[in-house]
C-alpha cells in the first residue's frame, strides 16, 4: 500500500473489522462448509458415497476441533479488547424495539426503494439491532451448544454422564442435527445479507481488508 493511499485511508475509512476477527471469520466459514459437507456424508452414508466412512469420521473430527480452537481467537480477542462493545446488548428494551423495527422495515421495504440503512456503522457500534441479536445468540449460545454436543459424540464413553444428563445419545444427536440444519440456513441467509451493502461486494471486502470504504454518507450505512 503506498504512503499516500495509506494516509487517505486513515483520514476517510473506518477500521471496523480487526485482523483477529477477520482471520477467525474466514477460517470459521471454511471450517463450517467442510463440517456441513462431511456431516452430510456421515448422515447419508447410504445415499452419498464420495468419501469412505472412516475417513469422513476422521475429517469431521479434525475440522471440528480446528473450528473449536479457532473460536478462541474470536473469544480471546473480544474478551481482551474494548471492541467487545460491539457485542454489548441494548438493555433499553424500548430503544431496542424501535431500532429493530426500523431495521426490519428497511429490509422489508426501504431497501427496495433505495433508502439508506437506518443504522450508521461506527467501529464501536458496527452491528444493526438485527445483526447484534443474531450474532450474540449464534456466537454465545448456538456455536457452544454445537461444540458441546459434537465433543460428547466424539467420545461417548468419556462423556456418558453428561449424555445421560441430557436424556441420552439420541437427544444429543438430535440437538446436533437440528443445529446443523440451522447453520445451513444461517449461512445462506447470512451470505445473502452480506451482499446488501452499498455495492454487492462492499461487506465482503470489509471482512477481508478490515476497512469500510469512505465516501458518501450512505457508505457508512449498511444492512
* Interface contacts to ligand HEM, rule CB under 6 A: 17, 21, 25, 28-29, 32, 131, 135, 138-139, 143, 187, 190-191, 194, 203-204, 206-207
Least distance in Å: CB of 191 to ligand HEM?
4
The span from the CA of 135 to the CA of 131, in Å, is 6
Give CA separation, 154 vs 31, 90, 149, 223, in Å.
17, 37, 9, 38
Closer CB to ligand HEM, residue 62 or residue 124? Answer: 124
Taking the CB of residue 148, how many other CB atoms lie within 10 A of it?
A: 17
Least distance in Å: CB of 126 to ligand HEM?
7
Closer CB to ligand HEM, residue 88 or residue 158? Answer: 88
Least distance in Å: CB of 112 to ligand HEM?
20
Taking the CB of residue 106, how many other CB atoms lie within 10 A of it?
A: 22
The span from the CA of 201 to the CA of 86, in Å, is 22
Which three three-digit cell numbers place residue 76? 480471546
List, in order, residues 6 or more apart from 208 with CB less than 8 Å away: 22, 26
Using CB atoms, what's the residue nearest to ligand HEM?
194
Closer CB to ligand HEM, residue 118 or residue 194? Answer: 194
Least distance in Å: CB of 39 to ligand HEM?
13
Closer CB to ligand HEM, residue 75 or residue 169? Answer: 75
Least distance in Å: CB of 91 to ligand HEM?
20
Instruction: Identify the H or E element spanning 211.
Output: strand 211-212
Closer CB to ligand HEM, residue 145 or residue 187? Answer: 187
Amino acid at each position: 500500500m503506498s504512503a499516500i493511499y495509506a494516509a487517505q485511508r486513515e483520514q476517510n475509512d473506518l477500521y471496523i473489522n480487526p485482523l483477529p476477527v477477520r482471520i477467525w471469520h474466514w477460517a470459521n466459514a471454511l471450517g463450517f462448509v467442510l463440517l456441513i459437507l462431511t456431516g452430510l456424508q456421515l448422515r447419508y452414508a447410504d445415499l452419498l458415497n464420495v468419501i469412505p466412512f472412516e475417513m469422513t469420521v476422521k475429517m469431521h473430527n479434525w475440522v471440528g476441533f480446528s473450528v473449536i480452537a479457532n473460536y478462541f481467537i474470536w473469544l480471546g480477542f473480544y474478551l481482551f479488547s474494548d471492541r467487545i462493545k460491539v457485542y454489548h446488548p441494548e438493555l433499553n428494551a424500548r430503544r431496542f424495539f424501535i431500532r429493530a423495527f426500523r431495521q426490519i422495515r428497511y429490509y422489508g421495504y426501504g431497501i427496495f426503494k433505495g433508502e439508506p440503512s437506518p443504522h450508521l456503522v461506527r467501529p464501536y457500534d458496527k452491528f444493526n439491532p438485527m445483526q447484534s441479536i443474531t450474532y450474540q445468540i449464534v456466537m454465545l449460545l448456538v456455536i457452544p451448544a454445537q461444540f458441546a454436543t459434537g465433543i460428547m459424540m466424539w467420545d461417548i464413553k468419556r462423556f456418558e454422564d453428561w449424555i445421560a444428563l441430557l436424556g441420552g445419545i439420541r437427544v444429543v444427536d438430535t440437538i446436533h442435527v437440528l443445529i446443523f440444519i440451522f447453520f445451513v440456513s444461517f449461512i445462506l441467509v447470512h451470505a445473502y445479507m452480506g451482499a446488501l451493502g452499498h455495492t454487492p461486494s462492499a461487506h465482503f471486502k470489509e471482512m477481508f481488508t478490515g476497512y469500510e470504504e469512505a465516501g458518501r454518507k450512505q457508505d457508512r450505512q449498511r444492512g
